[in-house]
């Protein structure tokens, strides 16, 4: 499956010469920002994406992708509303596919308290400490 690339509008602040690009594939979300002499690439594994926040204005949307790994969130400004919705939809779709794929850890379930993936046989969530049935 080819990665999808979303380019911020050149009409928005910070994107006039070198617009920010969000690249989403089956395993990662990457934010690529060019400048005159360098390229800044940040990526987050889809397994570590905790939330996708979309702030929609009159014309443009801002996207903030927070990770559960403690790193700084990926932020991108100046996307269309439809692109912002598609980005969120892609991330959720790929996360669901990763959650159902067998990765050698055995069968898993989602903790109802913190939404982290834990083993099916677990009686206590290793992330939040709550008892699970």
Element (H, E) at 75: strand 74-79
Residue 102 in this model has a pLDDT that exceeds 60: no
Q: What is the mean pLDDT of residues 38-43?
A: 94
User: Structurally, what CATH architecture does the domain formed by 4-101 represent?
Assistant: Roll (2.30)
Check: pTM over 0.85? Answer yes or no: no
Mean pLDDT (the chain) is 89
Rg from Cα positions in the chain = 17
Return the pLDDT at 19: 96
Give every strand in the sheet of 4-7, ordered side by side.
Answer: 4-7, 21-24, 28-34, 39-45
Return the pLDDT at 114: 86
Residue ranges per domain, the chain? 4-101, 104-133
Ramachandran sector of residue 50 (left: φ over 0; alpha: ψ -120 to 50; beta: rest): alpha
> CA dihedral defined by 79, 38, 44, 69, rounded to 10 degrees?
-120
Tens digit of each residue's pLDDT (9 = 90 or more) over 48-70: 999 999 999 999 999 999 988 77
Return the pLDDT at 125: 87
Q: Phi, psi (5° rounding) for residue 82?
A: -65, -40
Return the pLDDT at 36: 92
């Amino acid at each position: 499956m080819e990665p999808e690339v979303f380019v911020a509008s050149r009409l928005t602040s910070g994107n006039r010469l070198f617009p920010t690009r969000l690249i989403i594939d089956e395993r990662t979300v990457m934010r690529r920002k060019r400048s005159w002499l360098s390229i800044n690439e940040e990526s987050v594994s889809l397994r570590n994406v905790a939330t996708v926040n979309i702030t929609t204005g009159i014309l443009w949307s801002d996207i903030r992708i927070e990770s559960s790994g403690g790193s700084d969130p990926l932020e991108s400004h100046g996307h269309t509303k439809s692109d912002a919705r598609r980005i969120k939809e892609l991330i959720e779709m790929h996360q669901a596919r990763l959650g159902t794929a067998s990765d050698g850890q055995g069968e898993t379930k989602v903790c109802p308290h913190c939404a982290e993936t834990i083993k099916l046989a677990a009686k206590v969530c290793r992330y939040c400490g709550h008892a699970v049935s």
